[in-house]
Every structure is written in C-alpha cells, then in structure tokens.
Amino acid sequence: MVAIKLIPHILSWVGIVLILLRGFPERKRVVAVAVGAGFALGVAGTFFLFRSFPGDFSFSLIRDVVGGSFLLLWGIAVASIYRSTVRNFPLSWGERFFASIFFAGVGAFMSGMIAGAISVCRLGTSGGMLMLLILVLVACVLVFESLAIERLLPPSFTVSNSALMAGVVALLLFSSSSILRLDLFSPLSMKVMKFTHDFVHQFFESMLIPDHLFIHIHLWRYIGLLFGKEVGFWGGLIIWFAPAILIALAISFERLPSVAHIRQGAQRRTVVATAIRARRFRLVVPGITILVLAGAGYQSRFPAVEYWDPKPIVISAGPSGEIVIPLKGEVDLKDGKLHKYLFSQGGKEARFFVLMTPTGQLTVDLDACAICKPDGYGQTEGTVLCYYCKTLIPLETVGKPGGCNPVPIHFTEKKDGVYIDGLTLINTWSTTVQTTARVKEGSK
C-alpha cells in the first residue's frame, strides 16, 4: 500500500538523479553524494517540521519552496532564450556558475532535499522514524541503481544546463502534484484568473475604453471570455508549460558552429549535421519535461482522491425566522465533517454548511465563496476543496473570509444547537453568490 502510494515519487526520484548525473557528467560522484545527502536531510527536516508545526504551515512552506523552484525555472528559461537569440547577451558569469562544482553540489543537494520533503508529505509522520529510515535507504539504493542505468544511456544523449533545471523542477512538480495539499497548478490557475480579471478591468479603465453599455453585444461576448471560468485554466496552462517550451525553443534557436573556415563542402556539412544531431539530443529532456508537466497538471486537475460530499439536508426556519440545528440530532455536528444544509424562503434558496475545525471551533459558512461560481465544497484530508476552481482550503482557515474561502455566516452556539438568522443567510447568499454567478455567466 505504502509502496503504491510512493510510485510517482520513486519515478520522479530516479528521473531526477538520472538527469542530474547526465547534466554534470564530470561530477557524477559529487552529484550522487549531494543528492542522497539532500534527500536524507530533507526527510529529517520535514519530519521535525511536521512535529513542530503540524497542519497547514508545514505544507504551505514546502509548497512555496517548490513554487519558488518553478519561479527560478522561469528565470532560467528567459535567460536561455535571450542567450540563444541575442548576440553578446551578458550571461557568461551565469554560465561559469552553472559549470562550477559548487553549483553541481548545491543544486543536487537542494533537489534531493525537496524530493525528500515531498516524500515525507506523502507518507506522513505517523509511521515513525523507522519508516522514514527505510525511505532514505530506498532512495540511496535508487541513487546507486541510477548510477548504473546512467551508464547504459547513449553517450550522445546530453543535457544542457537549462534543460537540466527544467527536468528536475518538472519532476519535483510531478511528485508534489500527486499530493493534494502541495498542489501548485490549481492555486496558479486561480491566481491567473484573478490577475486576468483585474488586468482587463484596469486596462479598460486606463485606456478609457467604454463600458459594455456602448459596445456591441457580440463583441462584448468575446471580451466576456476573459472573465469566464476557463481563462484561469488556460492561462495557468500557459504559465505551467511556458518555461519548458521556452527552453526547448532556446535550444533549437542555438547558433550552429561557424564552418566558413573549412574548405570542403562535405566536411562543412558533416560538422553542421553533427551539431544539429547534438542539438536534437539536447531537446530530448525538454521534450520529456513537457510530458511530465502535462502529467503533473493532469494529476492536479483530476486528483485521485475521494471527497466527502454529503447531500444537503433541507431545513426550514422557525416562526421567528431563525434556523436551529441541534448539535446532536440525526447528525453529530461536532464530528469534524462537513454537514450541508439547504434553506429556502420566499422563493430564494441558500446552501450552507456547518463544520467543526480541527481547533475545536464550530463554523457556519455558505457553500460558496465570493469569487467562484457556487459549485460548493467537498471535504478531503485536512482541507475542503472548491469544486469550481479546485482550490484547497485548509480546515484551519475555514470560517475566515477572503479569497476562495467559504463565506462565513454569523451564528450563535447555544447548549442545544446552532442558531442562524434565516434572512441574513438568504441575503448573504444573494449579495455574494448571485453577483458572482451573474458576472461569471451573465457576461457570456
């Protein structure tokens, strides 16, 4: 069972080690030691991190580190495209740094560390020290295996610096995207959606472009696409794949060696053909990277997790307009699970849920957030998930407003149950949810 859970991580681990070994062919030993040591330290560090800060902080820390490496990859991608298209681009110091033993060691160490941390996130710390020791051992054995496999790869298969970075980061993303709470793609598309909306709005205002009142409806429909739900997904995809694609482009734009000094045509062509062949081989890793990123994006879009998604219980208010839900009736409100209710009054409906957070606090929230279409939430390990934008909200923060968090509702907790004002509920639902629904759908 544990082994099956670890399959994506093991695959990525072997891939990372292989790419690192090929990327630094002169420093294989340094790389092997550094990556192994990094893994061990990553595992140990994460273990203690989870011990000291159980819950969301540790996860988001590791997720941010992975995200940081993705940002770094973006930098490398842009630099490499500049390098291969701009004459005399000042980058020689960067290349010297890449070629140094320091970089090989530190890079391998960091990669190992992140990979180790991700594996611990998957395993959890409940297995204790022994489990983690076995994990480190397995990783080290795999490093040795990879050393052997690497020798079998064809010698013409070389990895450029930028492709090395792309491959390692993509595999780390692949590894982390199989863990819901480390997932980066969904928050990315969410941010992209928000950015696009803001940007289009700001752009219209800045450029004094008239409102939809004055513009042809069919034209406005196209503009409306920018406010639609898919824009986050597609924009996210672009940002997700762009670094790998840029690196691949940079490699294919690389200048071929000058052969003007050779006076025999056949020899000239041989040199050029050899260079083209080598260039094609260097494209292999970016190509694989794109596939790995696609895999990571897929895992994130269609996570292999079961949701707790209860059917809303229809409920009505008493004569005073107050809804009362008993603490221990048909359902136990304090069992830590999501309990959904459907309330209707005067032809209007509102969906909400009651949940006890891990800190022991009851919270009542709309089954919708202020940003997305009200598709509602499901519950998974340690989080609730917005079905619409696939954002995970840690249980600890449910009950706080903002972002894609469920909109909190005022309530009073008494001995016998939870009291909610029906009118407030309906009003909150119509003001927040109806507007989001209208913006999202109405502009279409």
Partner 1 sequence: MATAIIETTSLTRNYGDICALKPLDLQVPEGEWLSVMGHSGSGKSTLMNLVGGLDRPSAGSLQVGGKDLLALTEDGLARFRREFVGIIFQQHHLVPYLSAVENVMMAQYFHSVPDEAEARLALERVGLGHRLKNRPGELSGGEQQRVCIARAIINSPKLLLGDEPTGNLDHKSTVMVMDLLKELRDEERFTIIMVTHNQEVAAWGDRTIYLDDGVLVREERMNS
Partner 2 sequence: MKRLLRIIWAILFSRATPPFVIGFFLLVYVGIAFITDETLIALMRYTRTSFFLTAMLALLPLNFAVRLVVETIGYLKMRRVVMVSTEDVQPGLFDETVELTVTSSFEQLQSHLEALGYKTRRIAGALGAWRGISIFPARILFIAGVFLLYAGILISLTTRTSERVAIVEGEKFSSSTGESGIVERITFEPSSGLILAKKLSMEVAASSGKGKNVFGVYPPSLYQGAFVYPRYLGIGLFFNFTAPELPAGYETFSPLNIYPPGKEATSVIPGSPYRLVFSLVGPDDETDPYTTGRMNFNFKLLKGKDLVLTGSAPRGGEFVRDGYRLAFRDSRRLVITDFIRDYGVLMIWASGILFVIAGCFWLPVRIFFPRSEMLFRSGPDRIQAFSRAEGRGRKHEGVFHEALDLLEMRRTDRKSFEG
- The residues that touch partner 2, with contacts defined as CB under 8 A, are 71, 75, 78-79, 82, 86-91, 191, 194-195, 198-199, 202, 206-211, 213-217, 219, 255, 258-261, 263, 265, 268, 402-403
267 contacts partner 1 (rule: CB under 8 A): yes
Structure tokens at 149: 């496999």
Which of partner 1, partner 2, none has residue 154 at its interface (CB below 5 to 8 Å by kind)? none
Tell me which stretch binds partner 1 (CB under 8 A): 14-22, 173-181, 270-278, 310-318.
Answer: 270-278
- Amino acid letter, 3: A
Residue 256 and residue 280 in contact, taking contact as beta carbons nearer than 8 Å? no
Interaction between residue 96 and partner 1 (CB under 8 A): no
Binding partner 1 (rule: CB under 8 A), the pick from 4, 213, 217, 266 is: 266
Residues 6+ apart with CB under 8 A from 339: 310, 313, 331, 333, 353, 354, 355
One-letter amino acid at 139 equals A
Q: Using CB distances below 5 to 8 A depending on partner kind, what does residue 208 bind out of partner 2, partner 1, none? A: partner 2
- Near partner 1 by CB under 8 A: residue from 265, 319, 346, 347: 265
Which of partner 1, partner 2, none does 423 bind, CB closer than 5 to 8 A by kind? none
Candidates 223-231, 268-276, 364-372, 434-442; binding stretch for partner 1 (CB under 8 A): 268-276
58, 49 Cβ separation under 8 angstroms: yes
Q: Among residues 329, 241, 352, which one has the least CA distance to residue 287?
A: 241
Query: What dihedral do alpha carbons 300, 301, 304, 310 form, nearest 10°?
Result: 120
The correct pick among 268, 279, 301, 337 for binding partner 1 (CB under 8 A) is 268
DSSP string, 138-159: HHHHHHHHHHHHHHHS-TT---
Binding segment toward partner 1, per CB under 8 A, in 103-111, 182-190, 264-272, 353-361 = 264-272
Q: How far is the CB of 269 from partner 1 (least distance, A)?
A: 4
Among 51, 96, 269, 444, binds partner 1 (CB under 8 A): 269
Contact 434, 211 (CB under 8 A): no
Q: Which does 276 bind (CB under 5 to 8 A by kind): partner 1, partner 2, none?
A: partner 1
Residue 259: which of partner 1, partner 2, none does it interact with, CB under 5 to 8 A by kind? partner 2
CB 180, CB 392: distance < 8 Å: yes
Which among 341, 381, 339, 374 has a CA at the least distance from the CA of 356? 339
For residue 176, the cross-strand partners are: none
Asked if 359 touches partner 1 (CB under 8 A), the answer is no
